[in-house]
Amino acid sequence: MTINTILFDMDGVLLDAVEWHFLAFNEALSYFGKELTETEHNEKYNGLPTAKKLELLTKEKGFPPELYDFVQFIKQKSTNKMIEAYAKPYFPHEYCLSNLKNKGFALGLCSNSKRNTVEAAMERVFLKQYFDVILSNEDVSNPKPDPEIYLKAMNLLNVSNKNVLILEDNINGITAARSSGANVMEIKSTTDVNYLNVVAQIERYK
């Protein structure tokens, strides 16, 4: 087995933004006197698109569906502000992607965030240029934990799942990655994503 393609999640993998999404979602919910604990968010909601978070919130806490549009609007505005304020280039990530690219690996980004959020964030941290394909939750019918986004990326890159390594950090993303049939590298922190660690993982499949 030879790895020739690497697909990355964004939040929690290339961008230390998990807390940003938690805070932005709670800011929107606070208009209605609601909130999630950080434990709740990390165990169930982390990695889901806002629409899916709201559906889960309705199922578990009876949140009214007629408020979805307002919550998504406020959450998106808050997330964009946090990206502008806190997204900063991180040299080990740029070093990792640039070296992988130079060695001939195809690189893809597959995020459950909205496209404008993904592109704005990747531009701010100077990583957008390295990806051969970038997919957001707006590019699929079924976001993670469904594997559709990863299967679509593989199709666009014309690669077999056996030749793909996916970097993911949360239960919903890891479920999607494993369901795609690809090889998976589980990330605990954005600092885990560096050239030596990724190459060491690739070497295990030779």
**CA 179 to each of CA 133, 148, 166, 173: distance values in angstroms, whole numbers, following the listed order:** 20, 9, 11, 10
Residue 36 near residue 197 (C-beta atoms within 8 A): no
Q: What is the pTM of this model?
A: 0.85
What residue spans define the domains of the chain? 5-16+88-203, 18-86
Which residue positions in the chain have pLDDT lower than 70?
1
Sheet (strand 106-110) strand order: 133-135, 106-110, 5-8, 164-168, 183-186
Contacts of 30 (CB under 8 A, 6+ apart): none
50-61 vs 68-86: helix axis angle to the nearest 10? Answer: 130
Burial degree of 33 (CB within 10 A; 0-12, 13-18, 19+): exposed
Q: Superfamily for 5-16+88-203?
A: HAD superfamily/HAD-like (3.40.50.1000)
Instruction: Give residue-wise pLDDT tens across range 44-92.
Output: 888 888 898 999 999 999 999 999 999 999 988 888 888 888 899 999 9
Instruction: Measure the CA–CA gap between 150 and 178, rounded to whole angstroms.
Output: 10
Q: Cβ–Cβ contacts within 10 Å for residue 28, how many? A: 23
Q: What topology does CATH give the domain 18-86?
A: DNA polymerase; domain 1 (1.10.150)
Buried b (16+ CB within 10 A) or exposed e, 154-192: beebebebebbbbbbbbbbbbbbbbebebbbbebeebee
